[in-house]
């Protein structure tokens, strides 16, 4: 898994979601994946970057370790935990340069465009931009 | 993270749910002139399969609670206090539960060949409401 490219990881996820024929089931899968996301401890949440939503909270901890991007994420919102699981699956352990140069549209590629309100979609875009910004900076320093 | 046994099991469970509910919908549509009792029974089965309910849901069961109960990990996270109440009260009134309900009705309309007014969908909260909507708007069913 660690040597997979980002495209291989996203294609694998997309293939899983595509097996589910309607968005209700895909939404359900995303929620269930959120249940698999390891929770951050209160201390880890306090140390992480927080992305505030209107009522939902998202915590991201990004670091470079041995030249690889490491991502830890959490949220107190059910559906956002699912999306964070996707981001951790796709990006954790990848090279910053590959992440910075990658193209991934999770809602479209996973068939979840009806599941997220415009406000939530903006939040998703913000999280992805934060990851790319971190990785662009990390890749530029090398 | 790789496709774990647990992730594979979740996917298998949802695939089975999809197959079952589509089969139930097909069986209902195959009835020549379903009675109100037929409609109630099939809708209860369909809803139960869709929401992975462990038992046949009662007409009084809330669609929001059914959706929540099917997520085992969600229950555990809530017990541990790691989730807010976003499931029921999200951003701009669009909670995860409401989004899921909307998606459920999209599936139901497509699979049962029925068109429901958005206002009726918004107002529907229980399995009984779903049955009543199907009886009102399913032209095949006896009144």
Q: Which residue has the higher pLDDT, B127 or B100?
A: B127
**Chain A residues near residue B106 by CB distance under 8 angstroms:** 22-24, 114
Rounded to 10 degrees, the C-alpha dihedral B28/B34/B39/B41 comes to: -80
Whether the predicted pLDDT of A130 surpasses 70: yes
Residue of B nearest to A92 (CA): B1
**Chain-wide mean pLDDT for chain B?**
84
Structural tokens at position B140: 């095949």
Residues forming a β-bridge with A79: none
Q: Which residue has the higher pLDDT, B93 or A49?
A: A49
pLDDT band at B143 (very low <50, low <70, confident <90, very high): very low
Whether the predicted pLDDT of B86 surpasses 70: no
Residue of B nearest to A20 (CA): B15
3-state class of A51 per DSSP? strand
pTM: 0.89
Q: Could you give the residue ranges of the DSSP H alpha helices within chain A?
A: 6-19, 23-36, 42-47, 78-91, 96-101, 106-109, 118-141
Q: What is the DSSP letter of B92?
A: G
Mean pLDDT of A54-72: 89
What does each C-alpha distance from B68 to A7, A31, B53 come to in angstroms?
Answer: 33, 10, 10
pLDDT band at A123 (very low <50, low <70, confident <90, very high): confident
Q: Residue B6: what pLDDT?
A: 85
**CA–CA dist A94, B127 (Å, integer):** 46
The answer to whether residues B104 and A25 touch, using CB atoms and an 8 Å cutoff, is: no
Whether the predicted pLDDT of B64 surpasses 90: no
Give tens-digit pLDDT for A67-89. Answer: 999 999 999 888 889 999 999 99
Dihedral angle sign, alpha carbons of residues B60, B63, B68, B70: positive
Residue A16 to chain B, least CA–CA distance (Å): 8
Q: Residue A46: what pLDDT?
A: 85
**CA–CA dist A37, B24 (Å, integer):** 33
**Catalytic: which of A54, A65, A103, A117?**
A54
Q: What is the DSSP letter of A39?
A: P
**Exposed, middle or buried by CB within 10 Å (0-12, 13-18, 19+), for A122?**
exposed
**CA–CA dist A71, A92 (Å, integer):** 5
Give tens-digit pLDDT for B40-52. Answer: 999 999 999 999 8
Mean pLDDT of B117-138: 94
pLDDT band at A52 (very low <50, low <70, confident <90, very high): low
pLDDT band at A98 (very low <50, low <70, confident <90, very high): very high
The answer to whether residues A37 and A85 touch, using CB atoms and an 8 Å cutoff, is: yes
Q: Residue B55: what pLDDT?
A: 87
Whether B72 and chain A come into contact, CB under 8 Å, resolves to yes
What does each C-alpha distance from B81 to A37, B64, B78 come to in angstroms?
Answer: 15, 19, 5
Q: Is A135 designated active site? A: no
ipTM field: 0.88
Lowest mean pLDDT among A118-122, B12-16, B130-134: A118-122
Mean pLDDT of B89-101: 67
The CA-CA-CA angle for residues A3, A15, A25, to 5°, reads: 130
Whether B15 and chain A come into contact, CB under 8 Å, resolves to yes
A41 backbone dihedrals φ, ψ, rounded to 5°? -70, 165
The closest of A99, A54, A109 to A80, measured between CA atoms, is: A54
What does each C-alpha distance from A142 to A63, A69, A91, A130, A135 come to in angstroms?
Answer: 14, 13, 19, 19, 11
Structural tokens at position B43: 């809708």
Q: Residue B1: what pLDDT?
A: 44
Mean pLDDT of B70-95: 63
Q: Residue A1: what pLDDT?
A: 44
């Amino acid at each position: 898994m660690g040597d997979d490219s980002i495209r291989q990881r996203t294609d694998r996820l997309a293939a899983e979601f595509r097996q589910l024929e309607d968005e209700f089931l895909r939404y359900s899968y995303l929620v269930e994946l959120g249940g698999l996301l390891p929770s951050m401890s209160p201390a880890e949440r306090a140390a992480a970057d927080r992305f505030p939503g209107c009522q939902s909270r998202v915590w991201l901890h990004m670091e470079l370790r041995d030249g690889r991007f490491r991502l830890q994420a959490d949220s107190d919102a059910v559906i956002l935990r699912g999306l964070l699981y996707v981001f951790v699956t796709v990006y954790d352990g990848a090279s910053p340069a590959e992440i910075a140069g990658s193209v991934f549209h999770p809602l479209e590629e996973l068939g979840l465009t009806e599941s997220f309100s415009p406000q939530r979609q903006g939040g998703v875009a913000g999280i992805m931009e934060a990851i790319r910004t971190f990785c662009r900076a990390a890749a530029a320093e090398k | 993270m790789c496709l774990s046994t647990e992730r594979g099991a979740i996917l298998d469970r949802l695939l089975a749910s999809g197959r079952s509910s589509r089969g139930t919908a097909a069986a209902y549509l195959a009835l020549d002139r379903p009675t109100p009792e037929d409609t109630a029974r099939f809708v209860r089965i369909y809803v139960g399969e869709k929401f992975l309910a462990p038992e046949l849901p009662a007409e009084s069961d809330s669609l929001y609670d059914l959706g929540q109960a099917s997520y085992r990990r969600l229950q555990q996270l809530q017990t541990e206090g790691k989730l807010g109440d976003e499931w029921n009260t999200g951003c701009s009134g669009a909670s995860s539960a409401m989004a899921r309900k909307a998606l459920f009705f999209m599936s139901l309309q497509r699979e049962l060949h029925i068109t429901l007014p958005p206002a009726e969908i918004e107002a529907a909260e229980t399995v009984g409401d779903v049955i009543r909507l199907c009886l009102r708007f399913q032209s095949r069913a006896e009144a």
